[in-house]
Structure 1
Amino acid sequence: MTTVRQVQVTFDCADPRRLADFWCQVLGYVLPPPPGGFATWEDFERTLPLERRGAAAACLDPAGSGPRLFFQRVPEGKIVKNRLHLDVRIATGLVGAERVTALEAECARLIALGAVRVRLLLADGWNESCLVMQDVEGNEFCLD
C-alpha cells in the first residue's frame, strides 16, 4: 500500500501568476525559486515557446508544512460554483463576536488584495461563523 506524503492543490485559471501572487499574500506562502541557471522566473519564461509563457505558477509554504498550490492556465473560464474550496483558518478557537471580528478584519485585508466578500454565515448552533469570499478569479474560499 502506498503512503501519501504530500498533497498539491491545483487551480485551473486564466492568469496563473496573478493567482499565485494573490494566494502567497493570503497565506504567507512564497514563489518557489526559478529553475537552475535562471535568476528570475521571467528569465526562464523568455526561453519558453510563446504559448507556454505564463501557463503555470506555484506557491509554497515556507515552513514546508502546508500543501503546494499549483495554478495552470486553461482556455475555459470559471462557470459554476467550485466543488472544492479552501478554508483559510484564521479564527480557530474563537467564538461569537470575537470570531466575527477576526473574520471581518481578515476580510478587509483580503479585499485590499483583490478578493471579493460574498457573505457572512453566522453561527447556527452546529457550525461556527465563517465568511465566504472569492479570490481574484472568482474561486470561492472561506475564512473560518
Structure 2
Amino acid sequence: MVPNVQLMPDDGDPFYNPERYLRVVGKLNYLTMTRPDIAYAVSVVSQFTSAPTIKHWAALEHILCYLKKAPGLGILYNSQGHTRIECFSDADWVGSKFDRRSTTVYCVFFGGNLVAWKSKKQSVVSRSSAESEYRAMAQAT
C-alpha cells in the first residue's frame, strides 16, 4: 500500500468494470495463503468490492506491480533447530478513518516457520490504543 493513503467508500468516480475488480481481488485473496506480505493490502482493497472506484483500482494495480517486481517472496519452510511456538501481534488504533475501527494483525511461528497469520478489522471501536492492542493480543492468543 502507498503509505499514508486512506481509501474511502466514495473516493471519486466509479470503476467502469466492477466484475473485473471483484475477480482480481478474489485471486489476490487466494494468493495471500502463500504471500502473507500482501495480506493487509488485499484486505483493504477487498472492503470496496461492492462499489469500487478508480482510486481503488489504482491501489489494486499497485499491489499487482509489487507482485511482479518481487516474484521470489513466498513462504519457505526449513529447520531452525528448535520447536518453540512464538506469536507476535499488533493493532493500529483507529486505522480506518471511515468507521474508526482498529485493525488486528498477528502471526504465529512454530520452530521459526510461519504457520498462521491474520489481519482483520476489530468488531468494535476501541477507546484507546491500549484497548486495541489488548484486543489484538487476546485474538492472537
Same fold (TM over 0.5): no
TM-score, normalised relative to structure 2: 0.22
TM-score, normalised relative to structure 1: 0.22
Q: Which of structures 1 and 2 has the larger relative contact order (alpha carbons within 8 angstroms, sep 6+)?
A: 1
Greater fraction strand: 1
